[in-house]
Amino acid sequence: MIEHSVEEKIIDRAQKKLYLDAAVVQQGRLQESSKALSKEEMLSMIRFGADAVFNSKGGVTDEDIDVLIARGEERSKADNARFKEHANSLANFSLGGEEKSLYEFEGQDWSGVEAPGVPFAVSLPKRSTGHKTYDENEYYRNALTGGKEKGERGGPKLPKQFVSFDFQFYDVVNLEVLRAKEIKHYEYKRALARRADGLEDDAVALPPQPGLTKEEEAEKDALMAQGFGNWNKRDFNNFINACTNWGRHDLPKVAKEVEGKTDQEVAKYAAVFFKRFREIKNWESHLRKIDKGEQLLQRKTEIANALNKKVSRTKNPWVQLRIDYGSASSRGKQFSEENDRFLVCMTNHLGYGRWDELREEVRSAWIFRFDWFLRTRTTEELKRRVDTLARLIEKEISEAEAAEAEEQRKKGKKGPSSASKKRPAEESGGSTAKKKK
């Protein structure tokens, strides 16, 4: 251990801890104390012995090892005796020792004396920050004008340019030509204003840029009126979803799902959309979505017609309707024939696709009050069963219609042959009658 160094404080604190642990083992209890070093204690340990090193005028001397060992033993005995005095009472024992032990040196208390000279803490420079403002208007004004002063002129402002989207169907090509001409004209006027204020060199002549004529202004207004500026992205998505649900031809129902638009506005937009849909980005996905929805609508119509045709051919369908399952596997083992008959008749009565109402009718049906299998079916399970029955009915109807067509075809073949046979007989009969005469 080096004399007058921080090692003395470290070993001093470690020995105090050892005596405290021994006292705790003997007494069986521990007084709560702060184990963390305070700021003053840390600085005292770091600064300990620094003054002695800086103020010493002698150099490093080599002393006899025996003398150093003897001095260390004496110092250790003195410290041990001092620690034993504090270890007698746990209530008075503290890990940091007495307050004066941190600042006491050679019998003098240095706690109230400040060190002369330069302070220990390093003086940091002040942070240099730019101009800050919390006014939103001033912030955006500086961002747009580049921090110009209010008195500095920059020429006439460019009129606010409209922002168009592809689904609004503007004539972008012609509008871009007019917009470019208008921008060049205003840039020319701004350059003249800056030269008048001395902010720009006027050595180079500026070619004149004329503005829009009255005819071009009228053309611009007409082109702006041709587009659908009041249609936003939400309206466009609602229109696509409505066409998917109801088809492109059922415009009254489509208009009900496009909020804020009348039937005439939706009809006008639909007429333009289905003519110029290729101008929209990703038009293939939008049109594919609408086509898929229309295919589902067509399929629903076909199923509804098949169910209606099947039910209408039976005098009392709720009791007498029969379904040609074809095989036992097509019928299934869980749904009975009575269940299928009720599902077909009730779906035809309510309409295909109203599955929640069909489930409620099944649960409230008196004849199925003890049929717990059918009463506990979900809407998805009922839908799958009705679709299966609809395919069987469609197959049955198609086979019946094919057989009927074949029968009609055979009857058509027999008709001309029989007539041709009767004609020669009639002619022969007529000739014999003439001979008899």
Q: DSSP states of 291-355 as a string?
A: HHHHHHHHHHHHHHHHHHHHHHTSSSHHHH------SHHHH-SSS-HHHHHHHHHHHHHH-TT-H
Architecture of the domain spanning 233-280: Orthogonal Bundle (1.10)
Instruction: Give pLDDT tens digits for 313-360.
Output: 888 999 989 888 877 666 777 888 999 999 999 999 999 999 999 999
CB 188 within 8 A of CB 209: yes
CA angle 307, 308, 313 (to 5 degrees): 100
**Residue 109 φ then ψ, to 5°:** -90, 115
Instruction: Give pLDDT tens digits for 76-122.
Output: 787 777 766 655 544 454 544 444 456 677 777 776 666 555 555 55
Report if pTM > 0.85.
no
- Give the model's confidence band at 426: pLDDT under 50 very low, under 70 low, under 90 confident, else very high: very low
Domain ranges in the chain with CATH number 1.10.10.60:
233-280, 298-412
Residue bearing tokens 């069963």: 385
SS (H, E, C) 256-287: HHCCCCCHHHHHHHHHHHHHHHHHCCCHHHHH
Q: Strand (E) positions, 77-155?
A: 104-105, 108-109
Instruction: Give pLDDT tens digits for 179-221.
Output: 888 888 888 787 777 777 776 677 677 777 777 888 888 888 8
- Give the model's confidence band at 164: pLDDT under 50 very low, under 70 low, under 90 confident, else very high: confident
Q: Please report, in angstroms and rounded to a whole number, the separation of the first and last CA atoms in the chain.
A: 165
For residue 290, the model assigns a pLDDT of: 94
- Give the model's confidence band at 291: pLDDT under 50 very low, under 70 low, under 90 confident, else very high: very high
Alpha-carbon distance of 357 to 379, in angstroms, equals 9
Architecture of the domain spanning 298-412: Orthogonal Bundle (1.10)
Which stretches within 159-232 are classed as H helix?
172-196, 214-226
